[in-house]
Structure 1
Amino acid sequence: MTTALLAAGVLQLADRLADIGPELIDEYWPLVKRLGWFLGVALLVTVPGWYLLVPSVSRIVRHRNRNNPTLEQAIARHLRLIVVVFGIAVGAAVAGFTGFLTDSAIVIAAATLALGVAAQSVVGSFVSGTVLVADPEFNVGDYVKWADGEGTIRSITLRVTRVQTPDGELVTIPNDVLTKQEITRPFGHGHFQVVQYVSLSYDDDLEAALAGLETAAEGLEQSLDAPSPQVYVDEFGGDAIVARVHYWIDEPDRREVFAARSTFARSAKQRLEAAGLTIAPAAKRNLQGAIEVADAA
């Protein structure tokens, strides 16, 4: 049954082709030529762009962001789309298929306006993503702070950036949000200064306490000799003298800073307690007033 239907269809197609005369061929031949020019020029533009331009740009992006394959894939995908659209546009222009653009200018303008309004946020994030990609100080693995949070950059795409917070959460942030506000990169710029505050008792020897804090900072494995650790009296509080300790670490990340602060705190506590000095003395309050006792009877 199926074979018979197929044979009948072939016979009908042969009959129709037999009816095509020279006049019909002459009528459609210009359109066939224009289609040939369109396909030829479109392929001539698209193929080199697809197999030469896109791989070259991908290699540059891969070298620039070795730990971010997501970005490389996103750029390659968008660039292929641009190459195809450009090839179609050039092919249409060479083949003479651009006349409908002038005939339908109002419709195309209205469609373009509607599309632009609808895609405003997406385009904004795309442009912002391009800016972030081009910024050499914004890379996968960097620890950054912005107005709404902080964390380590895990991936950068042309639309969003994904950041892992200190609590382990993965936050997806539109790129236009990041480019509209100040971004701080506390680590990764050479020497990093760590500042810690220690409360000391008014009753203890201040100079001995400051010397003990300086020795504790100098004894840190991570602490640099130059600049050397420094200890200052920061303020006279209501219950204690607040000392400020400065020391420097070379090229740390966030965990190394936390480890150094913890090591310094333990060392300072041991040294000051061994010297009979008090850290963070208890608050003292003077109470005044009278107490009335009611008669139980």
Structure 2
Amino acid sequence: MSDRISLPDWLTDVLSAYGQVLSELFWFFVGLTSVYLLGRIVLVPLVARFVRARNRNNPTIESAAQTYLRVVLIGFATLTGIIAAGYGNVLSESAVIIAALTFALGIAGQQVFGSLISGMFLVADPDFNVGDWISWPGGEGTIESVDFRVTRVRTPNHETIAVPNTELTDNALTRPYGRDRYRITEQVYVAYYEDTEHALLELQQIATNQEFVLDDPAPNARIVELGENAITLQTEFWIADPMNQDILTARSDFRRTVKRRFDEEEITLAPPSAQLLSGEVTVTGERTDPSGNGS
């Protein structure tokens, strides 16, 4: 007599199905992980080294090449895992599944693909490079990297923000300063009764004497508006690479020096109010007590 316990047919079928599913999952992850790790360890560094050697003055190309290569690598690793799991024939023979996947990706990934295409346009733009200072309607800062979906920008506050690539391609970008210098523009308001020429000379001299200000181009100062209550003066000066400068501190130091120097020279920065009153008021009269007698 045999001691083996026979399982019901339905339970045997269930266990067999689970075993097949686990086996397929195992081979799927083996194929995916093997290809992905091999690509990240060998292929990506090799391509990055090649791109870096061919584009030494354009770090944007290197950053973008690594980003898009990782995307392709993930797709290829996933496809390898599917084939390793034994579903390669499904992908090659089932037009319905391929059409369904294409439709689903087209609907769900519309924004992602839009960002991807926008990122490619940014990478191809010769005036858009890592290290450049840019300004757009949503802010300004230094480009740190162009990724799959976003561009990372470091702001003057030393905060890194992720800007969608579509926002940069859909709006006008300003890159007036290059990557080796940055222009700071400051405005001050002086009263009409002050010596404007004296104020302009002081502004230009203050900017020239700041240690962080570049000698070339030289600082300048000019009148930009004759306002209703004050004259607007503007000075422009340049500092070195904004990646290595604290722009907010530079602005603050310049403004502090302007306030101190104008106080010493007795130059009124702006009238205290829109209307200036002068003169005196004299009050005369008699005080009347409750009894009706004046005093």
Matched AA of 1:225 = D
Deviations 1:133-180 (A, max 9, x none): 455654556554333334455554212334455567654443333332
Where does residue 78 of structure 1 map in the other structure? 71
- From 115, 119, 122, give the equivalent of 1:129: 119
Between the aligned partners of 1:169 and 1:256, the Cα distance in structure 2 is 12
State the shift of 1:251 in Å. Answer: 3.0
Equivalent in the alignment of 1:240: 230
State which of 251, 258, 262 in structure 1 corresponds to 2:241. 251
Contact 1:187–1:251 (8 Å) recurs in 2:
no
Question: Is contact 1:195-1:245 (8 Å) kept?
Answer: yes
| Alignment partners' CA distance in 2, 1:208 and 1:151 | 35
Taking the aligned partners of 1:141 and 1:212, their CA distance within structure 2 comes to 34
Report if aligned partners of 1:145, 1:151 keep a CA contact under 8 Å in 2.
Answer: yes
2:207 partner letter: A
Percent identity, please.
38
What residue number does 2:199 align with? 209
Give the root-mean-square deviation of aligned CA atoms. 4.5
Residue correspondence of structure 1 range 1-297 to structure 2 within 5 A: 50=39, 53-60=43-50, 74-81=67-74, 83=76, 101=92, 104-105=94-95, 108-135=98-125, 137-138=127-128, 142-153=132-143, 155-163=145-153, 165=155, 171-185=161-175, 187-253=177-243, 255-285=245-275
Which consecutive unaligned segments of at least 5 residues does structure 1 have?
6-45, 90-96, 288-296
Point out the structure with the larger helix share: 1
| Matched residue type, 2:219 | P
* 1:104-123, Cα deviation, whole Å (9 max, x unpaired): 54664354334323322222
Residues 77/228 of structure 1: CA separation in 2 closer, same or farther (3 Å cut): closer
Q: What secondary structure does 1:204 align onto?
A: coil
Residue 66 of structure 1, CA deviation? 7.2
CA contact (8 A) 1:161 1:175 kept: yes
Distance 1:87 1:215 in 2: 68
Q: 2:271 is aligned with what amino acid?
A: P
Distance 1:277 1:107 in 2: 78
Unaligned runs of 5+ in 2: 5-34, 83-87, 278-289, 291-295
Aligned length: 238
Partner of 1:11: none
* Cα distance, 1:143–1:105 mapped onto 2, change above 3 Å: same
Alpha-carbon displacement from aligned partner over 1:239-276 (angstroms, at most 9, x marks no partner)? 22222222233433485433333233222333332222
Q: Report the TM-score when normalising by structure 2.
A: 0.59
What amino acid sits opposite 1:118 in the alignment? A
1:58–1:225: structure 2 CA closer, same or farther, 3 Å change rule? closer
Structure 2 letter corresponding to 1:58: A
Q: What does the per-residue CA deviation read over 1:65-107, in whole Å, with 9 as the maximum and x for residues that have no partner? A: 8799996764443333455578899xxxxxxx98995x65466
Report the more deviating stretch, 200-209 or 169-178. 169-178
